Structure 1
Amino acid sequence: MGCPLSVAGVENISVITAISHPLRRRIIDRLLLHGPTQVGTFARVLDAQVGSISHHLRMLQKAGVIEQTDAPDGDRRASWWRLARRSFTWSAADFESPADALLAREAERANVRHQLDRLSQWYRTSPTSDLEGFNTDSLAWATQEELNDLHRRLNTMLDDWRSSIDREDRQERMPVYFFAHGFPTKV
């Protein structure tokens, strides 16, 4: 998917477990695309009860992922939320505790399932769509540090790309999902 709860570049396990829940992931995705959102809107668009949404918002807040914010119209009667951070990075190898490493591995699996579910959904609908996606892959020789550098470069490139989009130009935009994996393999 930097953190005030991370230590020496290692993501705190509470953040990892908080963002790995499917409904919380949908809340984060909604905030990434639409910005600050009111509790009632989450409940409506995510087809969930307000009480359930409030519980999951508190879990994300406790982990430092989201924070309450003022309503755009100044109305203090409604509860509005925004992201406190936009990216999350971890590896099960970051954790000395076997219990935390197990949680991190399960979160990695959940993340891959989420990514593959989105990809499968795209391939089910793409034959009837005029819109196009893309796929790319590559194979190269690299050290662990070079692979880490690729990861940093991709995150920087994606941040630059997102910030280059002028959302005030009145062009119609659609949500776009991108994911890539880089990992050691056998040839």
Structure 2
Amino acid sequence: MEEIQAITAVHHPMRRRIVDYLGLYGTSQVTGLARALEQQVGSISHHLRMLERAGIVERADDPTGDKRTSWWRPTRRRFTWSVDDFADSPADTMLARSAERANINTQIARLSAWHRSGNNDAAWSRAAFSTDSLAWASAEELAMLSRALAETIDTWRRSIDTDDGIERRPVFVFAHGFPTSP
């Protein structure tokens, strides 16, 4: 089970962007993060310290050996949790619900931004996808699907050779599975 501190830390909008950036680009210097995310260095440093306290990022050695610069790396790539994990604490349940809403808003905002962009590149437009399915399942079977999707995405991510000279762009993949009625 995730700690509530980690869940609330990563679902702050700027911290989510930092975690996503480090997940894509790996170990990064604070000034590079600030420039890429169009933020002040002090603000990025503050958010990195909050993420560090939650165990989501950690300080890294400067690859050049210069001890005057601040480098950071992610400690993990995936967060899996449910609001129900915090049913014993009303305060934590409230925080988890807020983080859940923030996560859904982030996902929908990214999808909306993609659609608003006009999708001018035909190859990327053909590659982008949307999928949904309606089926009968038990809670155990839905949890099994969640694990299988996570494993599939991890396998796919590891299969990509980023040093082969092929043009790549950051891509965002998300799926939701939940009980419903037709």
TM-score (norm 2): 0.95
Choose from 108, 113, 118 the match for 1:126: 118
Deviation of 1:63 after TM superposition, in Å, equals 0.2
Choose from 20, 32, 40 the match for 1:29: 20
Counterpart for residue 133 of structure 2: 138
Q: How does 1:7-18 map to 2 (within 5 A)?
A: 10-18=1-9
Choose from 59, 82, 89 the match for 1:91: 82
Q: What are the ranges of 5 or more consecutive residues in structure 1 without an aligned counterpart?
A: 1-9
Q: How does 1:29-68 map to 2 (within 5 A)?
A: 29-68=20-59
Choose from 171, 174, 179 the match for 1:176: 171
Deviations along 1:156-182, whole A, 9 cap, x unmatched? 000000000011211111111100000
Letter matched to residue 151 of structure 2: T
Counterpart for residue 148 of structure 1: 143
Deviation of 1:126 after TM superposition, in Å, equals 3.4
1:160 lines up with 2:152 in the alignment: no
Letter matched to residue 168 of structure 2: R
- Number of aligned residue pairs: give it: 178
Distance (whole Å) between structure 2 residues aligned to residue 63 and residue 70 of structure 1:
20
1:112 lines up with 2:104 in the alignment: yes
Counterpart for residue 80 of structure 1: 71
Deviations along 1:24-52, whole A, 9 cap, x unmatched? 00000100110011000111111111111
Percent sequence identity is 57
Aligned residue for 1:56, secondary structure, equals helix
Segment drifting more, 122-131 vs 79-88:
122-131
Deviations along 1:103-151, whole A, 9 cap, x unmatched? 1011011000000000000001134333221111011100001000000
Counterpart for residue 4 of structure 1: none
Letter matched to residue 91 of structure 1: S
Could you list the structure 1 runs, at least 4 aligned residues long, displaced by more than 6 angstroms after superposition.
none
CA RMSD, Structure 1 to Structure 2 (Å): 0.9
